[in-house]
Amino acid sequence: MINERYNARESEPRWQRQWDDHAIFATKNDDPRPKYYVLEMFPYPSGRIHMGHVRNYTMGDVVARTMRARGYNVLHPMGWDAFGMPAENAAMANKVHPKSWTYANIATMKAQLKSMGLSLDWSREFATCDPGYYKHQQRMFVDFLAAGLVERKQSKVNWDPVDNTVLANEQVIDGRGWRSGALVEQRELTQWFFKISKYSDDLLSALDRLDRWPDKVRIMQRNWIGKSEGLRFNFGLVGAPEGFDTLPVFTTRPDTMYGPTFAAISPDHPLAKALAETNPQIAAFNEQCRKMGTSQAEIDTAEKLGFDTGIKAAHPADPSWHLPLYIANFVLMDYGTGAIIGCPAHDQRDLDFARKYGLPVIDVFKPLGSDESVQDTAFVPAKTETVQYVHWVGEPGVMTCEQAMARSLEIFERDGWGQREINFRLRDWGISRQRYWGCPIPVIHCEVCGVVPVPIKDLPVQLPDDIEFDSPGNPLDRHPTWKHVACPQCAGPARRETDTMDTFVDSSWYFSRFTDPWNTEEPTTRAVVDRMMPVDQYIGGVEHAILHLLYSRFFTRAMQATGHVGFDEPFRGMFTQGMVVHETYKTLDGTFASPAEIRILADGDNRQASLLDSGQPVEIGPIEKMSKSKRNTVDPDDIIGSYGADTARWFMLSDSPPDRDVIWSEDGVKGASRFVQRVWRLVSTLAPHLPAPGGKVDAANHPAAQALRVAAHRALSDILGGIDRLRFNTAVAKLYIYVGDLETMLANAPEGLAADPVLAAAAREAVDILVLLIAPMMPHLAEECWSTIGHSGLVSEARWPEIETGLLVSDSITLPVQVNGKKRAEVTVARDAQNPQIEAAVLALDAVKQALDGKPVRKIIIVPQRIVNVVG
RNA sequence: GCGGACGUGGCGGAAUUGGUAGACGCAAGGGACUUAAAAUCCCUCGAUGGCAACGUCGUGCGGGUUCGAUUCCCGCCGUCCGCACCA
């Protein structure tokens, strides 16, 4: 039979229709089988899907389809993280309404996702900007407020004084507003906060239970929460205004209490503010400090600035020891007490500050065996390193910093001028945003009653559609009528909160909502959410390793506290995938060219690029993350249109480990496409010669058939193992090997099967297994093959066979033999051979004798089933 | 600045987590089939010495632990990600 090439363009939509028609991916909440919840981070509807989405959703789909084939009731939903700034930017730039822009994008992207052949339950789809979704989010805000998990307090924002608007950190470029170019200032606003810090300890300790999370993510979260034990004490103040007799300070390094040469407070410290009222110089200095962005990186890298207040801080251990008190721009009001002791010898920031303002430096401890004093580099050893203490609370001595810190705490507590205190770096979560396209915060401000939550029966507080984007700022705030309402308590005149919620709130509970998105009354249905959650495997980018995951963990606890769910951890398994990167191309005039605009000619190892239309040469630049600005993106539609979804999916799984970046290349896609055809050729060649499905195989006395069965079950075991560990690239490699094995064993003589029923039965089993194994990765091709080899149902609904483990062990094994750690030979022994037998066999080898060169054997190390090392 | 990762042939990577370094794929070179091309198939492919058998070196750099280190420890160098209002 002459085989036609596999035509993905014709086949893929056909199978997608079949899946849709039979609704085979619609999950039933009352299915009695064990559940498995696979979720990929839902996309922001930016316009079109990109290759990062293709990679993310392919990985999730492989897991979903694999678990389905193993008999689980798989939940694999999809939705849209639909609120956010880009919609407002588009509204300003192109005069489109954020709502229509967003929903149009969703329609486009949904069609694109559908063309990928993902096994998604679309019946559960929602967008976070649907009032039917944010209604419940507002309800939970009200519940959290009642439960004491929400509060209002002052916090800082980036303020653009020209546009009169709040800027996001990413809108501040080199300290200036991105549109106006004005110097950005810090401004204090009263804002809403979720009290995530209430859960600091729990969020930290529960990380130990998340054993199916990457270690790096858990470490990052641990550091972010930043639990530290330290000393809290008071400086006595000399020369301070009334009411400021003492200054509370927290330090994590009590062992350096005898090394400070200054004290410093934040420009936002109450004392700094009080001083500013009477001292114009201090007011000006504080003002200058506020001309700085609010991001941590900026604060850390900015030049250290200080202002000597003239006030003296008296050391609690020796009140006659006076330190100058500064106001300093690098001291944060949010952490500890907003005041620090400056110990220049052992903190680089303090040292930079001391050098700049001519303050002394006192060495508290020195490296072992050294008498050198700190010069321009602070001495900051690991806390576990042993050093010699020369100037601290006790006698000079040799110990680790940890030991000295513990001892210092004891002494200071005993002497009664300080207490041990646990502090966390984690700050409360500020959720107020002065923007339109977000979930309205459901409270009403009444002059008489104060802050009143919107009654639950009045939810949702819906965004008005009639808004204007012709000037910067929050359109909700300047809407003529929307914010004016009657107070729910006294019915007097009142106004709505015009701030909306951080979009991280939207994405902090969508996974729970997916379990019953049809419930119009409540955010969740307890019986359902408690059974379908937690998410068994969550997959998304590393960039979300801290914030999104931490907020979701907090929000789930808050939902538990308010009775919306019965568990605290939302994600049992977590996986962070790498980015999709691509070469960049620079034209002669310095602009970037897109991959679609250029042609590459390869001459040996030399690659030359030129523009398609003009023939101008193009410089091939470094490989970078796909981005619009570098123009190195590849449109998934183009790839699916020319090669098919299966090829794109296969390529995304090949080669690179999923947690690392993958380089998109035209050659790589071609290789993937070749494999699609190779599988099709193999299966369609064999199809006419295979016996009917469902027969039994007994190949015990048939070496060729037995070899086939061994290959098939080994493939089943290896590939399943690869997918379970999410090592898709190795699973792909094993599939290449398996296809190669089948080609050698079967494809050369398919006619022979007719005369050999045992071999034919084994071949049927082996080909069935091949098709089942490729199905999670290339589902359309698999369906085409499955029907070609005579199955009536869909492979997407087929169960995987049990692995016959008996086929995986052989009677003899081959061990590498080393002499003094270098491989010199191999030896084949019975699987159950005892050590003396192995030693004898090894010492009899010529290569071993030669390598020993007459030296006596000192010992022989035998690692069972692994290796033999002869030490001479 | 702080925190987290990563670094192996021409390229992406594999190595059962301390046990044969380079599986599998891509690129390249040679050959078969073809009038030709495409497609497909076969062979070679870390460096170096040797006609060969085979030997030596080799996992970013420098040290260390071990019978044995890509894997563990210490110190460098380089690249990438996050830093609380991008999502």
DSSP letters spanning A774-812: HTTTSHHHHHHHHHHTT--S-GGGPPPPPP-GGGG--SE
DSSP bridge pairs for A433: A500
CA dist A723 → A62, A178, A565 (Å): 8, 45, 31
DSSP letter string, A470-514? SSSS-HHHH-SSTTEEE-TTT-SEEEE---EE-HHHHTTSHHHHT
Sign of CA dihedral A363, A366, A372, A375: negative
Task: Indicate the angle between helix axes A779-788 and A645-653, nearest 10 degrees.
Answer: 120
- Whether complex ipTM tops 0.85: yes
Q: CA-to-CA distance for A188 and A159, rounded, in angstroms? A: 9
Q: How far is the CA of A731 from the C1' of B15 (A)?
A: 15
Q: How far is the CA of A643 from the C1' of B23 (A)?
A: 27
Look at residue A775 and tell me if it is in a domain.
Answer: yes
* CATH number for A865: 3.10.20.590
For strand B, the positions having any atom within 7 A of a protein Cβ are: 1-6, 10-16, 19-21, 23-29, 39-41, 55-56, 67-69, 75, 80-87
CA dist A496 → A146, A716, A862 (Å): 18, 60, 77
* Residue A618, helix vs strand vs coil: strand
Confidence grade of residue A605 (pLDDT, cut at 50, 70, 90): low
* Residue A190, helix vs strand vs coil: strand
Summarised one tens digit per residue, pLDDT across range A776-821 is 999 999 999 999 999 999 999 999 999 998 888 888 888 888 888 8
Whether A51 and A116 share a structural domain = yes
A117-176 residues near strand B (Cβ < 7 Å) = 157-158, 166-170
Q: How far is the CA of A726 from the C1' of B1 (A)?
A: 36
For the ranges A32-46, A108-122, A591-605, A754-768, which has the lowest average pLDDT? A591-605
Place of tokens 């589902």: A779
Which of A277, A144, A178 lies closest to A563, judged by CA?
A: A144
A433-452 residues near strand B (Cβ < 7 Å) = 433-434
Whether A701 and A749 share a structural domain = yes
A451-470 residues near strand B (Cβ < 7 Å) = none
Summarised one tens digit per residue, pLDDT across range A445-467 is 999 999 999 999 999 999 999 99
> How many other CB atoms sit within 10 Å of the CB of residue A645?
27
A252 touches strand B (CB under 7 A): no
A667 has pLDDT over 90: no
* pLDDT value of residue A368: 77
Whether A258 and A399 share a structural domain = yes
A846 touches strand B (CB under 7 A): no
> How many other CB atoms sit within 10 Å of the CB of residue A515?
25
Q: CA-to-CA distance for A792 and A781, rounded, in angstroms? A: 15
Q: How far is the CA of A418 from the C1' of B24 (A)?
A: 63
Buried/exposed A854-866: b ≥16 CB within 10 Å, e otherwise: eeeeeebebeeee
Q: CA-to-CA distance for A198 and A147, rounded, in angstroms? A: 12
The two tokens of residue A767 are: 């080909």
A584 has pLDDT over 90: no
> End-to-end distance of chain A based on CA atoms, in angstroms?
62
* pLDDT value of residue A825: 83
Confidence grade of residue A2 (pLDDT, cut at 50, 70, 90): very low
* % of chain A with per-residue pLDDT over 90: 54
Summarised one tens digit per residue, pLDDT across range A126-168 is 999 999 999 999 999 999 999 999 999 988 899 998 888 898 8
* pLDDT value of residue A373: 80
A753-812 residues near strand B (Cβ < 7 Å) = none
Whether A358 and A474 share a structural domain = no
Q: How far is the CA of A214 from the C1' of B65 (A)?
A: 28
Place of tokens 């009654």: A455
Residues A751-778, mean pLDDT to the nearest whole number:
92
Whether A341 and A264 share a structural domain = yes
Q: Which of A763, A787, A808 is the last residue of a domain?
A: A808
A288-307 residues near strand B (Cβ < 7 Å) = 294-297, 300-301
Which of A691, A658, A654 lies closest to A676, judged by CA?
A: A654
Whether A69 and A108 share a structural domain = yes
Look at residue A13 and tell me if it is in a domain.
Answer: no
Q: Which of A502, A535, A552 is the last residue of a domain?
A: A502
Q: CA-to-CA distance for A203 and A207, rounded, in angstroms? A: 7
Whether A741 and A831 share a structural domain = no
* pLDDT value of residue A822: 83
Summarised one tens digit per residue, pLDDT across range A7-18 is 999 999 999 999
Give A182's DSSP letter: P
A354-393 residues near strand B (Cβ < 7 Å) = 382
Give A72's DSSP letter: -
Summarised one tens digit per residue, pLDDT across range A551-572 is 999 999 999 999 999 999 999 9
A47-76 residues near strand B (Cβ < 7 Å) = none
Q: How far is the CA of A823 from the C1' of B55 (A)?
A: 13
Dihedral pair phi/psi, residue A720, rounded to 5°: -60, -40
Which of A708, A703, A769, A770 lies closest to A736, judged by CA?
A: A770
Non-local CB neighbours of A208 within 8 Å, separated by 6+ positions: none
Residues A587-592, mean pLDDT to the nearest whole number:
75
A321 touches strand B (CB under 7 A): no
Which of A425, A260, A402 lies closest to A341, judged by CA?
A: A260
A632 touches strand B (CB under 7 A): no
> How many other CB atoms sit within 10 Å of the CB of residue A737?
14
Summarised one tens digit per residue, pLDDT across range A47-76 is 999 888 999 999 999 999 999 999 999 999
A666 touches strand B (CB under 7 A): no
Look at residue A524 and tell me if it is in a domain.
Answer: yes
Q: How far is the CA of A588 from the C1' of B28 (A)?
A: 29
Look at residue A665 and tell me if it is in a domain.
Answer: no
**Highest mean predicted confidence (pLDDT) among A119-128, A362-371, A398-407:** A119-128
Q: How far is the CA of A745 from the C1' of B30 (A)?
A: 27
DSSP bridge pairs for A121: A77
Whether A416 and A305 share a structural domain = yes
Whether A744 and A829 share a structural domain = no
* CATH number for A442: 2.170.220
Q: How far is the CA of A750 from the C1' of B37 (A)?
A: 30
A866 touches strand B (CB under 7 A): yes
Average pLDDT of the residues of chain A: 89
A596 has pLDDT over 80: no
* Residue A662, helix vs strand vs coil: strand
Task: Indicate the angle between helix axes A547-561 and A215-225, nearest 10 degrees.
Answer: 70
A588 touches strand B (CB under 7 A): no
Q: How far is the CA of A713 from the C1' of B39 (A)?
A: 32
Look at residue A738 and tell me if it is in a domain.
Answer: yes
Q: CA-to-CA distance for A187 and A172, rounded, in angstroms? A: 14
CA geometry: angle A46, A50, A52, nearest 5 deg:
115
A849 touches strand B (CB under 7 A): no
A607 has pLDDT over 70: no
DSSP bridge pairs for A167: A158
Q: CA-to-CA distance for A379 and A363, rounded, in angstroms? A: 9
Residues A84-108, mean pLDDT to the nearest whole number:
93
Sign of CA dihedral A547, A550, A552, A555: negative
Q: Where are the beta strands (DSSP E) in A542-579?
A: 574-577
Confidence grade of residue A3 (pLDDT, cut at 50, 70, 90): low
DSSP letter string, A289-334? HTSS-SSHHHHHHSPP-EEEEEEEEEETTEEEEEEEEEEETT--SS
Non-local CB neighbours of A868 within 8 Å, separated by 6+ positions: A815, A816, A817, A818, A827, A838, A842, A860, A861, A862
Which of A539, A434, A554 lies closest to A504, judged by CA?
A: A554
Q: How far is the CA of A662 from the C1' of B59 (A)?
A: 21
Q: How far is the CA of A7 from the C1' of B9 (A)?
A: 36
Residue A448 CA, chain-centre distance (Å), reads 46
Q: CA-to-CA distance for A103 and A123, rounded, in angstroms? A: 17
A500 touches strand B (CB under 7 A): no
A190 touches strand B (CB under 7 A): no
A656 touches strand B (CB under 7 A): yes
A210-249 residues near strand B (Cβ < 7 Å) = 215-216, 219-220, 223-224, 226
A815-834 residues near strand B (Cβ < 7 Å) = 816, 818, 820-824, 826
Residue A85 CA, chain-centre distance (Å), reads 21
Nucleotide nearest to A869 (CA to C1'): B67
Confidence grade of residue A589 (pLDDT, cut at 50, 70, 90): confident
Summarised one tens digit per residue, pLDDT across range A226-270 is 998 889 999 999 988 888 889 999 998 888 888 899 999 999 899
* CATH number for A392: 3.90.740.10
Q: How far is the CA of A579 from the C1' of B79 (A)?
A: 15
Structural domain boundaries enclosing A844 = 812-871
Q: Higher pLDDT residue, A633 or A571? A: A571
* pLDDT value of residue A127: 97
Please say whether the beta carbons of A805 and A797 come within 8 A: no
Confidence grade of residue A602 (pLDDT, cut at 50, 70, 90): low
Nucleotide nearest to A88 (CA to C1'): B86
Q: Higher pLDDT residue, A516 or A869? A: A516
Predicted model pTM: 0.92
Q: CA-to-CA distance for A845 and A463, rounded, in angstroms? A: 83
Q: Which of A379, A397, A422 is the last residue of a domain?
A: A422
* pLDDT value of residue A301: 80
Q: How far is the CA of A626 from the C1' of B79 (A)?
A: 17
* pLDDT value of residue A489: 93
Which of A379, A390, A408, A399 lies closest to A317, judged by CA?
A: A408
Whether A278 and A358 share a structural domain = yes
Non-local CB neighbours of A611 within 8 Å, separated by 6+ positions: A587, A593, A597, A598, A599, A618
A504 touches strand B (CB under 7 A): yes
* Residue A814, helix vs strand vs coil: strand
Q: Is A483 annotated as a binding residue?
A: no
Look at residue A722 and tell me if it is in a domain.
Answer: yes
CA dist A382 → A379, A385, A464 (Å): 10, 5, 56
Look at residue A82 and tell me if it is in a domain.
Answer: yes
A606 has pLDDT over 80: no
Please say whether the beta carbons of A165 and A89 come within 8 A: no
The enclosing H or E element of A772 equals: helix A757-774
DSSP bridge pairs for A39: A538
CA closest to C1' of B15 belongs to: A730
Query: What domain count does chain A have?
Result: 6
* pLDDT value of residue A590: 72
Whether A272 and A292 share a structural domain = yes
Q: Where are the beta strands (DSSP E) in A110-226?
A: 150-160, 165-167, 172-173, 176-177, 185-194
For the ranges A427-431, A532-536, A813-817, which has the lowest average pLDDT? A813-817
* CATH number for A716: 1.10.730.10
Whether A74 and A169 share a structural domain = no
* pLDDT value of residue A1: 43
Q: CA-to-CA distance for A478 and A481, rounded, in angstroms? A: 9
Look at residue A318 and tell me if it is in a domain.
Answer: yes
* pLDDT value of residue A558: 97
> How many other CB atoms sit within 10 Å of the CB of residue A153?
11
